[in-house]
Structure 1
Amino acid sequence: MNVAVFRPDDERLSAAVDLLTDLGVEPVADPMLAVEPAGATPESAEWVVLTSKTGVELAARGGWEPGDAKLAAIGPATAEAASEAGWAVELVPSEYSSAGLVHDFEDRVDDAAGTTVEVARSDHGSPVLLDGLRGAGATVNETVLYRLVRPERAGKSVDLAAERDLAGACFTSSLTVEHFLDAAAERGVRDAALAGLSEAVVGCIGHPTRETAEELGVEVNVVPAEAEFASLAEAVVAELGVVGENA
C-alpha cells in the first residue's frame, strides 16, 4: 500500500520514510516544502517564540543568541533543537499548536500587558499566534526566518492519487495540502487527484491542517491526538488496516 509523505527533503523525510516502512506500508516520498532562508534573525524581546526546528537551526546558523530573553518552543522537536543549540527553553505548550502556546502563555504570565514577544518563524505562520498574544496584551513583533516553497519536482503522489494508486496520505501542514493541490492543478488532474484522495486514508497532523484540507475539498479520515508525525503515520496505517478488514 502506497502512503505519501510530504516532509522537506532532509532528515525529517528520511525518518518518515523509515517509520512508514517499519509500519509495513510503501512510503511515497514527495516533498511539498523546501526552505528558502530569509537571512534574518530574531529581534530582541522579553520572550522569543520559536515555532520549528528549521527556525532554530537558521537562527543559530546566523549567530543569534537569546541573551536574557525567555524562549518558548511549539513542540518537543523545536525544544530539542533549541537545547542542542545551547539554549534553555522556558515554555513548551501542553498542546503543540499556536492556540496551545497562546493558552499556556496566558497562564504562565500573570500580567502580559507590556510584555514584548518576538515570534520568529516561516512566512506561512498562522495569524492565531500573533492575534492571541496581542489579545493577551503583549506587544508582538514577527520576524520571517525562512520562506516555504514547493519544490519543482514535487508531484509524484499527485499522479498516484489521480490513478487511484494511493492508499494513504500524511499531510503535515496546511501548506502541504495547498501545494499538493497546486501541483495537481498544474498537471491538469486536480479533480482526479481529489477523487483519488477520497478513496484513500487521508491523515492531517492537526485540526488547522484538517480545516484547510476540508475547505479545499479533501476528505479527511484521521487526525491524531498528538500533533507529531509518528502519531500521524501510525493513525493512517491503523486506519488502513481497518479499511482492509472491511474491504
Structure 2
Amino acid sequence: MDAEGDTPRIAVFRPDDERIDDAVALLESLGADPVPDPMLAVEPTGAIPADAPYVVLTSKTGVELAAEAGWEPGDATLVAIGPATADAARDAGWSVDVVPDEYTSAGLVAALEGRVDGERVEVARSDHGSDVLLDGLRAAGARVNETVLYRLTRPEDAGESAELAAAGALDAAAFTSSLTVAHFLDAAEERGIRDAALAGLNDAVVGAIGAPTAETAAEHGIDIDVVPDDAEFETLAEAVIEAVKGEESASDVDTRR
C-alpha cells in the first residue's frame, strides 16, 4: 500500500503508447496507485494483410498499422478478435463482419469454423500469435496464410515492477498477454531477482486477461487470482481491484478477531 495505507499499488504492463496512458488513468479513477511498466514494444514489419475472402485481425495495433499503410479490406469478410480491434477497424472506415463471443484465438475459431471450409483465410497479427488460431482454422478446412504485421519486443528499461514485487511492495499485477508474463520474468532474471519477484507476485493479487495468459503464468509458477469473463483491460482492472479490496477486508476481519 501507499503511505496512506489505503491505495493499492498495481503494476500494469501495456505497451508504451496511449494504451499505458489509458490504463494508468483507468486505475487512478478506480482508486489505485498504478505502476506503469511497459513490457511490450511494437516494431512494425512494413507488411500488409494479403488479399483473401476472410481477413482476421487480432489487435488494435495491427488494424492501425494496416490502415497507416493504406490497406483496405475491400470485399473481404473482416473479422476482429474483440471490441477494441473492431472499434479501431471502424475508426479506419472499415465494416466489421464478425466479432466472436469469446475474445480469444479459440473464440475466433469457434466463430469461423462453420464458415471457412475450403476458403482462404488471411490472419494478420504480431509475431507472437497463438498457434491455436492457425491450427483451429486449418482443422476447420480453411487455407490459412499468416502475415506478421509487427514484432513485439521487451523495452530495455522494463522491470520496475519486478523490483517492487521482489521487495514486497506490490499489491497487485495485471498481465495482459502471455508475452507480458515472459517479459516480466526475463526482466527479473536480468536483475538477479527472479525468485524474489515470483514470491512477491504470489503474495499479491495477480490478474490475467484471459485463459491463455493465466496458463502461461501458471506454467512459470505464478498463482493467478483473477481471470475476468471478458478479455478487456477495463474488466481486468476492475476485477483485480475488487480482489485486492476483498483481501483487505478479510485481513481487517482477521485482525479484529
The TM-score normalised by the length of structure 2 is: 0.94
1:54 corresponds in structure 2 to 61
Q: Distance in 2 between matches of 1:115 and 1:25?
A: 47
Corresponding letter in the other structure for 1:241: K
2:231 matches 1:235: no
Q: What do the CA deviations read for 1:151-206 (whole angstroms, capped 9, x no partner)?
A: 01101000000000000000000000000000000000000000000100000000
CA distance in 2 between counterparts of 1:113 and 1:183 reads: 43
CA shift digits 1:186-237 (9 cap, x unpaired) = 0000000000001000000000000000001111101001110011001100
Q: Which residue of 2 aligns with 1:246?
A: 250
Unaligned runs of at least 5 residues, structure 2: 1-7, 252-257
**Secondary structure of 1:141 counterpart:** strand
Shift of 1:113: 2.6
Distance 1:105 1:128 in 2: 13
Residue 203 of structure 2 is matched in structure 1 by 199
Paired with 1:207 and 1:59, the residues of 2 have a C-alpha distance of 28
Q: Distance in 2 between matches of 1:100 and 1:66?
A: 22
Q: Write out aligned runs for 1:13-24 (5 A).
A: 13-24=20-31
2:180 is matched with which residue? Answer: 176
Distance in structure 1 (CA, Å) of the matches to 2:145 and 2:229:
31
Give the counterpart letter for 2:202 in structure 1.
Answer: S
How far, CA to CA, are the matches of 1:67 and 1:238 in structure 2?
44
Q: How does 1:1-247 map to 2 (within 5 A)?
A: 1-107=8-114, 109=115, 112-247=116-251
Secondary structure at 1:222's aligned position in 2?
coil
Could you list the runs of 4 or more consecutive aligned residues of structure 1 that deviate by over 6 angstroms after TM superposition?
A: none
User: How many residues align structurally?
Assistant: 244
Q: 1: distance between equivalents of 2:104 and 2:118?
A: 23
Deviation, 1:63, is 1.1
Q: Find the residue that maps to 1:120 and give its secondary structure.
A: strand
| 1:46-88 C-alpha deviation (Å, 9 max, x unpaired) | 1000000000000011111111211000001100111111111
Residue-by-residue CA offset, 1:24-47 (whole Å, 9 max, x unaligned):
110000000010001100011110
**Residue type of the alignment partner of 2:224:** V
More deviation, 9-18/155-164: 9-18
Whichever residue aligns with residue 198 of structure 2, its letter is L
Q: Could you tell me the percent identity over the aligned residues?
A: 66
SS at match of 1:219: coil
Q: State the Cα deviation string for residues 78-118 of structure 1 (Å, max 9, x = none).
A: 001111111111100011011011101124x1xx3320000
Provide the aligned C-alpha RMSD in A. 0.7
CA distance in 2, matches of 1:23, 1:64: 38
Q: Give how far 1:146 is off.
A: 0.1
